Structure 1
Amino acid sequence: MAKTKKRGNGEGSIYKRGNKWYGLVTVGRDAEGKLVRKPASGSTKTEVAEKLREISQQYKGIDLKQASSYTVAEWVYFWLENYAKPQLEETSFNSYRYNLENHIVENFGHYKLTEITGMDIQVKYNQMFSDKEKYSSTTLKYVHNKFKLCLKQAVSNRMIAHNPCEGVLLPKARTAKKVQSMTVEEQQKLVEYCETDEYLNLFIFLVGTGMRIGEALGLTWDNVDLEERNIHIVKTMIEIHGNPSFKNCPKTDSGLRTIPMSKRVHQIVLDRRKAHRDLNHLNLVFFSSTYNFRTTANLRRLFQKTCDNAGIKQYNLHALRHTFATRMIEKDCNIKVLSAILGHKDIRTTLQTYTDALDAYKKEKMTEIDIFS
């Protein structure tokens, strides 16, 4: 009587169905003591056996009993508190927590840590990205990178064999919208409407400096040199769960920069210094009626109302920064200088963002300059 060949260690059970081979290998037990088995398939028995051996090897030393007791949500919160928090500044940690909580826990929190797959993540990312109002390619990339970092620690802790975020493809970025900037006439109307109102002159300040909204709202007097007429950008204002706070710019960040003040901008800042010296505990240049941070939501509503009252079409707040850049290009500002003032990491960002303004500038110069004369 022929003896049945005993399966090798890690080979698992293999069977054929139709023209394809399938297999299962036991890799351990979960928190409830149940066997955890992983599948494999292939065109030959040998191929499947090899895959099962690889799976068995991957799970060697994995603490499935501990890992299976965690859902993705539970692991995310554990990682945030015990791994991320000790390494991050408070504002950065709050950003990590906010994004993981509102995007990862919300969409993947119910999965078991040991059961979530790259396919699960890929399908859900595609669905998330279809929500154009909530997810830009930048937001999804940020969230994905933090989730990947979180699961990388689970791999290091031998709780899962591999990181399911590896190999996930982020959806292709949507075609970028053309930047909106005001015409010279619209800019003048805005300035005329705002210049007599010290609460609205922040909009003139933004057009005159090209600063980001958060940078202007987080600007404090210790970073303003009225004598040398310079503004030093070293921090910004961020909002987590609607709560504004300061966030320092990293020392290697291109956002860390100095912006010279024009005559009009200098006068705005000087007038505010004379009128509001030492009035707010945060030392802010631009503050609310309660001497606290002004929020972007309130500022957005105020700007929409201001556009109507000034008799110009509706623009978003970021158009003020774009208007600054467009005027600078029109006035022959060197593109490297402009890129540095805007705080772009790469001059290519400036070139790509302001393509239309640069094209118009080139056309104007070509009609002005005759190299044959």
Structure 2
Amino acid sequence: MGKDLKGNPLPPGIMQRKSGIYRGRFYYKGETYTKDNADLKKLVQEMEDLRYEVKHGLKGKGDNITLDTWFDIWLNTHKKRTIKESTQVRYDDFYRRYIKKQIGQQRVADFNPIILERLLQNMADDDYSTKTIRDVYNILNAMFKYAVHNRILTFNPCAGVEVPKTKTKQIRVLTVKEQREVLEHAKERIHENLIQVALGTGMRGGELLGLTWDDVDFRKREISVNKTLVYIKDKETKKYVFKYQTPKTKNSIRTIPMQDSVYKALKRQWIQLKEMQLSASEWQPLEGFENLVFVGKNGKPITEHTFQVTLDWIEKSINKERKKQAEKNKTVFIPIPHFYPHALRHTFATRCFEAGIDAKVVQGFLGHYSIAITLDLYTHVTDDKAKSEMDKLQNLYKEII
């Protein structure tokens, strides 16, 4: 290990010249690579970047870089210095969901505005929201700007690309009838209690999956929301791991009162977990996650994907029953519209408004930082509520007329 001019130890591969300038050097496949900088911290980062480029065949070979490789460099080398880990998780998830399968293996050098416009237009044709399409564009634009900055490209192919606009999607909310169906078909499923708590609290998916028993106060009948569970790629091992993170905003840290359905669901969950621990031959909870409220059959944390798979199964079960009843009654089969875990949060909020709960209180339940968000998202009423309100008006008119 080398030392600086004052005798202090230096990181491996770095020396300090008599001029005071630091020099980094390493060897790879018979080649020597060096960098100089007067700032030691900057040099350490530059050497880390250079090693990555050399080992991944990027140094002097910009024509061969795929979009997948460049995304990894952009996110884990460039952006990681300026964004929170939770934002890094969101970018990574977004890329894997909307970009990777479509264009991830194409070379960065081959991109042009037509390819990108085709990608965005295909998303519009598939009914993705304008916001989602805009987010995809923003990520690609930032990646290509960084490629231009590093002289991988001479121009940004996102320049001049227009983001197509789509119709604003209506927020998916379960009707009262649909909510009853979901709860009925969730019975006896391993995640029945998770769905019951989701519909009874309006908690976000990551908040529910990160809930631990020390957050549950049965005596006070309260739930403390103070963390979220994410499934994120580890920067060192490049493998996906579970981690706790602080909630979305400081307003997300909150206490939610337990209504009876939630209280009973959590009591059932407590008993069921004890039974599962005794009967499961492969009960192996992950270290640091032993106290989770909602887990899989093996005691390990569950992902939001698993949550969605459970809802998909319930959706199929409901449609099977609806189809059976339609054939029996010789009526038209109408399937339940598809829904995601976030629809359960929307449904809780809508039931709150239908019950006449003040918007400010609902804001507190949901953990929104602004009342405007609560009102913008949830002031619509369902068809069931609209009809009942119109019936009230109709009865009044009968008295007048």
The answer to whether the superposition gives a TM-score over 0.5 is yes
Q: Helix, strand or coil: the match of 2:170?
A: coil
What is the aligned partner in structure 2 of residue 57 from structure 1? none
What is the aligned partner in structure 2 of residue 299 from structure 1? 310
Match status 1:80 vs 2:75: yes
1:262 is aligned, of 259, 263, 271, to: 259
Residue 147 of structure 1 aligns with an amino acid whose one-letter code is L
Q: Helix, strand or coil: the match of 1:174?
A: coil
What is the aligned partner in structure 2 of residue 201 from structure 1? 193
For residues 178-225 of structure 1, give each alpha carbon's deviation from its aligned partner in whole angstroms, at most 9, with x where no partner exists.
533232x55456656767777523322222112233432332223333
Distance 2:152 2:188 in 1: 63
1:329 deviates by 1.2
Distance 1:95 1:111, change over 3 A: same
Q: Helix, strand or coil: the match of 2:381?
A: helix
Distance 2:292 2:66 in 1: 41
Distance 2:261 2:144 in 1: 51
Give unpaired runs (5+ residues) of structure 2: 1-58, 234-238, 278-284, 326-334
Match status 1:170 vs 2:163: yes
Report percent identity of matched pairs: 29
What is the aligned partner in structure 2 of residue 110 from structure 1? 106
Distance 1:213 1:258, change over 3 A: same
Match status 1:230 vs 2:222: yes
Distance 1:224 1:309 in 2: 36
| More helix as a share of residues | 2
1:329 is aligned, of 350, 353, 358, to: 353
Distance 1:145 1:247 in 2: 27
For residues 58-101 of structure 1, give each alpha carbon's deviation from its aligned partner in whole angstroms, at most 9, with x where no partner exists.
xxxxxxx9585454524333323422355566665455345435
Match status 1:127 vs 2:138: no
What is the aligned partner in structure 1 of residue 336 from structure 2? 314
1:333 deviates by 0.7
Alignment of 1:62-77 (within 5 A): 66=60, 68-69=62-63, 71-73=65-67, 74-77=69-72
Alignment size in residue pairs: 303
For residues 223-253 of structure 1, give each alpha carbon's deviation from its aligned partner in whole angstroms, at most 9, with x where no partner exists.
3333433323333345579967345245636
Residue 314 of structure 1 aligns with an amino acid whose one-letter code is I
Distance 1:191 1:297 in 2: 15
Distance 2:263 2:73 in 1: 49
1:285 deviates by 0.8
Give unpaired runs (5+ residues) of structure 1: 1-64
Asked if 2 retains the 8 angstrom alpha-carbon contact of 1:66 and 1:159, the reply is no
What is the aligned partner in structure 2 of residue 61 from structure 1? none
Residue 334 of structure 1 aligns with an amino acid whose one-letter code is D
1:351 deviates by 3.3
Asked if 1 retains the 8 angstrom alpha-carbon contact of 2:129 and 2:168, the reply is no
What is the aligned partner in structure 2 of residue 273 from structure 1? 270
Alignment of 1:29-44 (within 5 A): none
1:356 deviates by 2.7
Asked if 2 retains the 8 angstrom alpha-carbon contact of 1:148 and 1:163, the reply is yes
Using the size of structure 1 for normalisation, the TM-score is: 0.63
Distance 1:160 1:181, change over 3 A: same
Match status 1:287 vs 2:295: yes
For residues 19-72 of structure 1, give each alpha carbon's deviation from its aligned partner in whole angstroms, at most 9, with x where no partner exists.
xxxxxxxxxxxxxxxxxxxxxxxxxxxxxxxxxxxxxxxxxxxxxx95854545
Distance 1:193 1:301 in 2: 11
What is the aligned partner in structure 2 of residue 252 from structure 1? 249
1:334 deviates by 0.9
Distance 1:254 1:228 in 2: 21
What is the aligned partner in structure 2 of residue 34 from structure 1? none
Q: Helix, strand or coil: the match of 1:146?
A: helix
Distance 1:198 1:98 in 2: 26
Distance 1:182 1:160, change over 3 A: same
Residue 169 of structure 2 aligns with an amino acid whose one-letter code is A
Distance 1:195 1:337 in 2: 30
Distance 1:177 1:254, change over 3 A: same
